[in-house]
Homo-oligomer: A and B are copies of this chain.
Amino acid sequence: MATRDMSRWETAICRVVSDGDTEEIIVRGHRMSELIGKLTFAEMMFLMLQGKLPTQPQARTLDALLVASIEHGIAPPSMIARCYASYGTPIQAAMAAGVNAFGDRMGGLGEQMARLLVERLALHAKGSPLSDALLRREAEAIVDEARRAGTRVPGFGIPLHGADPRAPRVLDVARREGTFGDYCRLGMEIEAALARARGGKGVPMNIDGVGAVVALDLGFDWRATRVFLITPRTVSFAAHFLEEQDQDTTWRHLPAGQINYTGREPSS
């Protein structure tokens, strides 16, 4: 592989040109100086990742998703950022450790769901809404496949909590704004199919799953799913880091009583 010259870089995202005393920054075909003071962060984020500006309903839906994902208390990954504060790291290290903790079981489930749904719907015509019947069939196929494989459908079910109030609220905003499209509808069909498979007992789409379908209906790449969790959560990392610093804690660790040693003892 790699006959490509690795010292050459190519990008369609941004051009920075220093021309003597002045510099020009073009982002996705727009002058940065014209975007500042005009766009909200959500609009700019949309432009960065999709290369075009969102409609107002799209921007408001994205804001709802970002707001919903910003905070969830002293739980992972913000818990990690607080630990770091107590170990005396700089703030960016704590934020990085929080970001890096978004593994396959934290945030990753939304990405897995997004990928799965994109692959399923890739076979069908684009441009016009898919029929309810088709989405129902796809949903049943997805649920069936998971059941046969003995796995869960990623993005559904809430392992640690009662019903998460964020998920339905974000879907409400998508409905209100008219951005509730094929992927959101497929998500609801999967929810219904899961309930039927379990004799009525619901397994609601969780916030990871809602983030996935809402972002897909906004037009984002499935590979960006995790970003809508990570970027807002960096604010939580910062807030918790600073609060922990204010408390001047030293070296967050487990009480000895919570640890059980099951290994060998020295022979003598």
Residues in chain A within 8 A of chain B (CB atoms): 1-2, 4-37, 39-42, 44-45, 48-49, 51, 60, 63-64, 66-68, 70-77, 79-80, 82-84, 86-93, 95-97, 99-108, 159-166, 169-170, 172-173, 176, 221, 223-224, 226-227, 230-232, 234-236, 238-240, 242-243, 245, 247, 249-256, 258-267
Instruction: Flag if A260 contacts B6 (CB, 8 Å).
Output: no
Q: Which residues of chain B come closer than 8 Å to A260, judged between CB atoms?
A: 8-11
Q: How far is it, in angstroms, between the C-alpha of A8 and the C-alpha of B264 when the chains are bound?
A: 19
Instruction: Flag if A253 contacts B36 (CB, 8 Å).
Output: no
Q: Which of B170, B239, B259 contacts A73 (CB 8 A)?
A: B259
Instruction: Flag if A100 contacts B106 (CB, 8 Å).
Output: no
Instruction: Flag if A239 contacts B13 (CB, 8 Å).
Output: yes
Instruction: Flag if B238 contacts A224 (CB, 8 Å).
Output: yes
Given contacts A30-B266, A74-B9, contact A100 B97 (CB under 8 A): yes
Q: How many copies does the complex hold?
A: 4
Q: Which of B5, B31, B227 contacts A91 (CB 8 A)?
A: B227
Q: Which residues of chain B come closer than 8 Å to A75, judged between CB atoms?
A: 16, 253-254
Instruction: Flag if A29 contacts B67 (CB, 8 Å).
Output: no
Q: Which of B1, B28, B256 contacts A263 (CB 8 A)?
A: B28
Instruction: Flag if A6 contacts B99 (CB, 8 Å).
Output: no
Q: How far is it, in angstroms, between the C-alpha of A41 and the C-alpha of B27 when the chains are bound?
A: 21
Q: How far is it, in angstroms, between the C-alpha of A249 and the C-alpha of B247 when the chains are bound?
A: 30
Q: Which residues of chain B come closer than 8 Å to A261, judged between CB atoms?
A: 10-12, 14-15, 26
Instruction: Flag if B36 contacts A166 (CB, 8 Å).
Output: yes
Q: Which of B9, B92, B251, B267 contacts A76 (CB 8 A)?
A: B251
